[in-house]
Amino acid sequence: MTASSAAPVRVAAYDCGTNSLRLLIADVADGRLTDVVRELDVVRLGQGVDETGRFADDALERTFASAERFAALACEHGAERVRFAATSATRDASNREEFISRITEIVGVAPEVISGDEEAALSFRGAVSTAPTRDGLTLVVDLGGGSTELVLGADEPVAAFSMDIGSVRMTERHVRTDPPTFDEIEAVRTDVRSALDEALGTVDVSQAATVVGVAGTITTVTAHALGLERYDSAAIDGAELSLESVLTACDELSIMPREERASRAYIHPGRVDVIPAGAMVWAEVLRRVRTEGARLDGGISTVVTSEHDILDGLALSVG
């Protein structure tokens, strides 16, 4: 007699990052997700946090308004379990208690300000739940607005590191010109290289047989590399592209004028101003992975993109 499958549980998972607030309502059964609703609002909660160390009032208001809309959806669709995770910007903000108090009122559960290590583990779980991987270790790179997580593992993470490097943080810190100047690009690259020097003391990326990239910057770069006219999740999710084609796409987006970026339908309007710096970060990570891997046999020649990330990991964790 075979064991019967568990009855599905409907969950709502919120991921509140530096740039966006996202919602996944899904049915979870036997460790697998069936999507009901996926939503994203670019709220830029981390606006100015790198410089001021606190949330701006207008950023909080945008985030609260989005949370109210998402909470109504979770109620409408009958979510039984809810988890709300806040990441890089909230870890850094001195007035995070105001954010935590109001979100608790809106959503009905207290937001968890998760550590970089937990963020990394959840991203890894979400990414490897669906992404095509080779035998051996997988490196998952979650490139957010305020931080970038490197996670190495097989079924479970064996090493992880969270870098205070992201598309919003690098834009606010270094990019003043449209398109970015050579000096601005070099300033971003210098920060990323310094962060990687530290990260690679913990995460040996040379061991990776597969590289999987997740989150909005990386999916946008992939859309550009694929030559899409508009954003197409089905085409992007699971796409495996040559490393060279991804690096070319990064370099093109890094120097693309804002007017042209805004005209590209695959770039979310809330990502138009930060995609150049985000693409610079992704390129530096990939170049470093290639260099480290070349010391062993072969190294990395392709990159996989996944639409499944920390949001999926959060949903699975409460299912």
DSSP for 162-218, written as a single string = EES--HHHHHHHH--SSSPPHHHHHHHHHHHHHHHHHHTTT--GGGEEEEEEESHHH
What's the token pair of residue 81? 């379990």
Task: Identify the helix (H) or strand (E) that includes residue 95.
Answer: none
The CATH number of 126-311, from 3.30.420.150, 3.40.50.720, 3.20.20.150, 3.40.190.290, is: 3.30.420.150
Residue-by-residue pLDDT tens, the chain, 319 positions: 344 567 899 999 999 988 899 999 999 998 889 999 999 999 999 888 888 889 999 999 999 999 999 999 999 999 999 999 998 678 878 898 999 999 999 999 999 988 878 888 888 888 887 776 777 899 999 999 989 999 999 888 999 999 999 999 999 999 999 999 999 999 999 999 999 999 999 999 999 989 999 999 999 999 999 999 999 999 999 999 999 999 999 999 999 999 999 999 999 998 999 999 999 999 999 999 999 876 555 578 999 999 998 899 999 998 7
CA–CA distance, 38 with 227 (Å, rounded to integer): 24
CA–CA distance, 39 with 98 (Å, rounded to integer): 24
- Which residues does residue 101 pair with via DSSP β-bridges, in sequence order? none
CA–CA distance, 126 with 7 (Å, rounded to integer): 21
pTM equals 0.88
- Is residue 200 left, alpha or beta, with left meaning phi > 0 and alpha meaning psi from -120 to 50? alpha
Which residues touch 251 (CB under 8 Å, ≥6 apart)?
Answer: 279, 283
Residue boundaries of the structural domains of the chain: 9-114, 126-311
CA–CA distance, 243 with 304 (Å, rounded to integer): 9
- Which residues does residue 12 pair with via DSSP β-bridges, in sequence order? 25, 82
Please give the angle made by the CA atoms of 94, 104 and 49, to the nearest 5 degrees.
Answer: 25
Note the CATH number of domain 9-114: 3.30.420.40
Contact 249, 256 (CB under 8 A): no
Domains 9-114 and 126-311 share a fold: yes
